[in-house]
Structure formats: C-alpha cells, structure tokens
Chains A and B, each alone.
Chain A
C-alpha cells in the first residue's frame, strides 16, 4: 500500500482534491450530489478525456502538441464532407475515416519534428495555425448542420430513472472514451512499445544508444494523438449534432492543463492514464459545480486557473511532506 501511494502521489493528491471539491459542492448545491449529475459529467467530459489520453502519450515521449484540437476540427469537417459524398456511411466507416485523417495529421507533426528537426512546440504551433487557417479559408466559417442521421441521433447504451426523477444515462461517447482510455493504458504500460516511449521521453540519448528507433517513437506518439484526436472530433460532432469549424479552437490549452495537472511532465518520461483522467474530471467537476452554484461563466477561467495552481503546488510539495513515510521524490 505504502509503495502504491508513494509511486502514485500525484493521483492520490488529485483524488483528495476532487473529493474535497465534491464535498464542498454537495453541501453548497442540491443538484451536485446525484447520480444523474455524475453521469452527466461523464458524458460531457468524454471528448476531453479522449483528447487527454492522446496528448498524454506525446508528453510521455517528451513532446508537446498544440495542434490536436484544430486537427480534430479539420477531421470533423473533412469526414462530414466525405461521408456525404459516399452517401452517408455509418459508425464503422465514420470512425475509420476519422482515424485515418487524424493519424495523417499527426504524422505531419511527427515528420516536421523528426525529419526537419523542429522542436515540437514550434512545429505544432505552426501546424495549429496552418490547419486552422486552411479550415477557415475553405469553409469561410460556414458550419455543417445536415449531418447523417446515424451521427446526430443519440445512442443511449444504458438508461435508468432514479427515485429522485433524474436520469442515469451511459451514451456512446462514454463507451468510446472507455475504449480509448483502456487502449492507451494497455499501450503505455503493457507493451514494449509503450515502455520504449517512456524511456525515449525520459532519456532520449540513452534510448538512442540502445538502438531504439527515435523516428518511430515520434510517429507512434503523434500518430496515437492523431488517432485519438480524430475519434474525439467525430464524437464531438456526434455530441454537438453539428460541425462548427471553430468549435474546438482553444480546447488544446484546457486539455493540456488537465493532463499536466494529472502528473504528466512537460519534458517527458512521466505521466499515467489515471492521473490524466482525474485531471480532466477535476476541471469538469469544478466547472459543473460553479455552474450549479450560479457563478458567472465569465469567472470560470479565473477560478479554474487558480485551482490548477493550487493542485499542482499541492501535488508537488506538501502532500509528500504531510505524509512523513513518503520519501522526498525530487531530492536534488
């Protein structure tokens, strides 16, 4: 047990903060502490969690990506046009198209970073602008509303009316999210490729001396994020029932903050799927709670920024000092 807490200090710290916030919100509002609300949260967070686990892989491999959210917008738009041209398609063809497009856009980032030796933040700021610029230029900002029926109709996998009248629902986005989360977890903790990604992010020169294929690592990391971004794009279109070119613009920073909050390190080699999911949930819970408390949405960003700072400070320092049996992790 001690070992588990030691090696997952960030996750436990996050869990503690989430519990504290939840406790506060349960006392402060009536609606927060209901199963219905909990499932609502899960449904609305699904897209961000899919983005987050993709970004996690890139961060573990020592990179960063700013472009994935607008890449998802490009995928949405192009997929919608392609689906229309093939006469509608279905979930399978939709997911395949989204996945292929997403992976391709991710591969462009990997190519720039590996082949042309551009550092990842610069390369992806450039592709962020290019993807978004191209999208706005060709669409002239026009949204697509006449999506195929299969894409816009809600798929409810499980529903149940609670005694208090609220509905417990598990929808398709949640299922897709769970599959993505499990797949990412298997990739990074259970496969040799995943461990090579960790090693590459932790000590790139060390990995290179072992003969690990550095180029392959970049393509796998950015390809995986591209895959997740493509899927998330399609799911977001399904959830919103429309494709708006700038709907996901700005999402990259929210997701990045959540992933870093979850213990991933900018610089590579560190981060877990659990921490990543908790990071996204914490931000959603806070947002949801503020909503229920009737706080002005204009104050959200400010409050969330403050919470990120507090949580990161907590998980870096005091938790380890508060619990004396924990070693100082970052003894330097």
Chain B
C-alpha cells in the first residue's frame, strides 16, 4: 500500500495551494483542499466527474475566486486569489478539455492569441504572429499551415495547436484537462511524448485524466480528489489501476471474468462476409441469445461502422445478415428497430439523448407507438412506462419531468439504455457505453448489461477499453483495419494477451 506523502523534503514547490474552499449555490465544490506542483514534474490530478478537479484548475488560473482564507503561493509570490491575466503572465497555462480555441480564426492567430489581448486597441502584426506560431510549432516538432483557419484541421491537430499556444507564453506550468479524451492511441502516444519533452525542458505538466493507464505511465506523482476533498498525494511508482480506482471512488471493485458458454442458446444474429469498402471487410460472427459479444480495437478499426450497418444506418456492399435465422436487409434504422435491433450511440451527449428535454420524453422517444392511446400520446401510459424502467434499472432521478442534463453521466446512460429496452429489442448494440461515465458508475452499467443478457437479450458490447470487454463479455473479437483479426475467450486468456494484440 502506498501512503500519502504530503510533506516532501525535495525541491521547493513551484505552485502551492492551501485552504482552498469553494461553494456553488450551497454545494461545497472544494473543501479545504491543498495542492502542490514541483518544477518540471509531471503530476496527475485524478478524481471522478464532479470531484472538483476542474474547479481547482479554474481557481489556479483565476477564472474562479476561492473563498477568503485561501493561500496561493506561486513562483515566490503569495496571492489570495488569481486573475486570468496574472496567471497567464506568470506562466500558468491551461489546455482545456474543450480546447477553448477559435475555429474560424487561423492557426497563427490561435497560437499567438496573447498578442491580441490587452484593453486598448493596437494594430495587429500578422507577420509577428506567424513567426510566433511557426516557432511554437517547431518546438513541438510539428509543421502546420498556419494561415488556414483552425476548423480545417482534425481534432488531434487542434490539440497540438492548443499546446503550441500554451508554450508561447513562457509556460512554467501547463495544465492539461482530459487531453486524450478524443485522441486515438497513436495520437495519444505522440501527445505523451510531447509531455515528456516539456517536462525535460523544465515545464511542469499537470495532467487531469481519468484514463488510468496514462496516469501511471506518464506522471511521477498523483493527487486524488473525491467529493471536493483531498484524498492524498501519492508517488505513482508501485500504484496499480485498481488502487487508483479505489482512491477515486472510496470503494473496492471486485472485477472478475463473467464469461460463460452460451453455445446451447439459439443464434440471434449471424453476420456473413459483411463488407463495406473503406470501413470493414469480410466480417463474420454470430451472437446467441443471452450472449454478450465484445468487440474491441482502436478508434477507426471499423467497430462503430459495423454497428451502424447492423442498425440500418449504412448499407453494406456485400455479405449477409441473418436475424433469428432469416436474412434481413435494412434500408433505414426504423426497419432495424422494428426488427428488434437497438443501438446505443457512442456519442451520448449529442446523438443519444436530447439534453434539454425531460427524462421521461427522452426515455419514450424510440417507443412512442407503445404509449399511444386512440392515436394520441397518453401521458398516463408514458408515466407508467417511465416509472417501470426507472425502477428496473435503478436510475436515481428527481422528477420524470426534470431535464436529462440534470442527471450524472451514469444515470444518463441508464436512461439511454432504458430508451432502447422500451423498444423490446432482440439485439442490443452498446457502443462505448461508459464514455463520460465515472469509474464508480461503470460497474453499475455492467451489472445492468449482465442482467439483460441473463434475461435473454443478445448483446454486442463495443469498447476501446480492453478491460471492459475482457471482464464483461462472453467472447471478445478484436478488429483492426476493418477486419476481425482475432477472437478471444476471456476464460482462456489474460487481459494482457488481448491488450498486446490491440496495441501491437
């Protein structure tokens, strides 16, 4: 067991916070938190959503003011609160999760944005901005056309622009808020490489992430927050993923392989030689009643594309799909839903749920036919249906009429699953069901998945987090480059075996 190492005898911290308190509308977001960053170290700030990580960063960068009594020591100066200008001039830079970039402006303007700041108008020196931008990109070993608007670049390159921008202002500390959330593995590797370069050149990097593997790989120390309070500061050497999860959630998780043989059950879905050029090729597999088939692979391996074809959203060029033994050919997802296929989108926030609408309306949207009474929608039937699903899936809500956006990630995902269960499917495709769901709430989602499988649903579980499919699926397929490149039985292999295949 690793013990907190609050007091360290090493170098003087570059940044040191004490007595940080923050309240939002009666809710304590931060309770007496302290936080230290040493010069040039890679430090990880971990915690579940809502644990106070982002609030803490916003206090350090001057976006929020902490309650009186706070002490912020930075680079030899003591402050009661920061302001964005002091923080930036002092070399504190943040790469926000949403990047906070300006898509319509050019790469040069985005990187050299600081030259545009200031209260009084000055003339813009575009040549100077280009020079700054090119120099900053060079530091990162990247070349981009700095005259093009940022919106022309994919997300990974925008991330690099955000990092380049942070380096312009003589950064001493760079905070990175969930920097790898939307990156593929190779892009993540490149980013981690950049982080190491920064650290060697004396810039401290504070990594905020809940992808735990990265945390262990990159940082030397770890600060854990839970419910707005400091849990402790730990050296990462010797820490395991499950230990970090325990620290973040305060609970222990007993993960075990759930896989069972379902060979006696009838086949629900059979896919033969399915091909859609450029997306997937010659894909064949079966899923039986009560079986959970895991599909893993890197982003872009064709996982989601297969799912969309099974759900009737894109047409395969060749190959066959059999549902309950009968060949099917969907020309729209409405046909797929009627045939008993349900697809939980990987992008819950923008595609899966309609955020401003109520919990009840979101839940019934795919099954409106079921709550009709004499041609009109029946409020009473709707309420009954919603109450039933909420009880079945153990969703914690206030009122049915509250907006879905008031729920936590885990509870939102339960509603999204309930929405599809209400269509009475035979086959449920779950695409990245734990994205944006806290570690603690993930276990709850998989409990539901296991229960649904036991009740006879055929389930396809798609995830790029190998442990999720390893522990929760009966069989695991590995996709790479649009093809199935391996099949695993979790009972007869280790997690490392699959990970080695995926990250090879």
**Chain A interface residues toward B at CB < 8 A:** 3, 6-7, 189-196, 198-199, 202-203, 205-213, 216, 269-270, 327, 329-330
Tell me, in angstroms, the Cα distance from A311 to B123 when the chains sit together: 34
Pairs across A and B, CB under 8 Å, 22 listed: A7-B147, A7-B149, A189-B124, A190-B124, A192-B115, A192-B116, A192-B121, A194-B121, A196-B117, A198-B104, A199-B102, A199-B113, A203-B103, A205-B100, A209-B61, A209-B94, A210-B88, A210-B117, A211-B85, A211-B88, A269-B104, A329-B152
A269 to B122, CA, bound (A): 20
Given contacts A190-B123, A211-B83, contact A270 B104 (CB under 8 A): yes
- The answer, yes or no, to whether B491 is at the interface (CB within 8 Å) is no
B49-105 with Cβ < 8 A to chain A: 61-63, 83-85, 88, 94, 96, 98-105
Whether a CB of chain A sits under 8 angstroms from the CB of B141 is: no
Among B102, B149, B152, the residue within 8 A (CB) of A203 is B102
Residues of B in contact (CB 8 Å), total: 34
How many residue pairs link A and B with beta carbons under 8 A? The number is: 85
Is B8's CB within 8 Å of the partner chain A? no
Contact between chains at B121 and A193 (CB < 8 Å): yes
**B151: Cβ under 8 A from any A Cβ:** yes
The answer to whether A191 and B151 touch (CB under 8 A), given A196-B116, A198-B104, A209-B61, is: no
A209 and B63 contact, CB distance less than 8 A: yes
Q: Which 6 A-B pairs have the closest CB atoms?
A: A211-B84, A206-B100, A193-B121, A269-B104, A202-B102, A191-B121
* Contact A203 B84, CB 8 Å, known A192-B121, A209-B96: no
Bound CA span A6–B147, Å: 11
Does B104 contact A202, Cβ atoms closer than 8 Å?
yes
Bound-state Cα–Cα, A213 to B84, Å: 11
CB distance from A3 to the nearest CB of B (A): 6
Give the residues in chain B near A192, CB-CB below 8 Å.
Answer: 115-118, 121-124
Nearest B-chain residue to A200, judged by Cβ: B102
Say yes or no: B85 contacts A203, CB within 8 Å.
Answer: no
- Pair A195/B124 contact, Cβ less than 8 Å: yes
Instruction: Determine whether B119 belongs to the interface, using a CB cutoff of 8 Å to chain A.
Output: yes
- B361 / chain A contacts, CB cutoff of 8 Å: none
Most buried by B among A6, A202, A213, A330: A202
Which residues of the partner chain B approach A190 to less than 8 Å between Cβ atoms? 123-124
- Collect the chain A residues with CB atoms within 8 Å of residue B123's CB: 190-192
Give 10 A-B pairs besides A192-B121, A203-B100, A209-B84 with Cβ atoms closer than 8 angstroms: A3-B148, A191-B123, A192-B117, A193-B121, A196-B117, A203-B102, A207-B102, A210-B113, A211-B88, A269-B102
Quick check: A195 and B104 within 8 Å, CB to CB?
no
CB B111 to nearest CB in A, in angstroms, measures: 13
CA distance A189 to B106 in the complex (A): 12
The answer to whether A206 and B102 touch across the interface, beta carbons within 8 angstroms, is: yes
| Chain B residues, Cβ within 8 Å of A195 | 105, 109, 116, 124
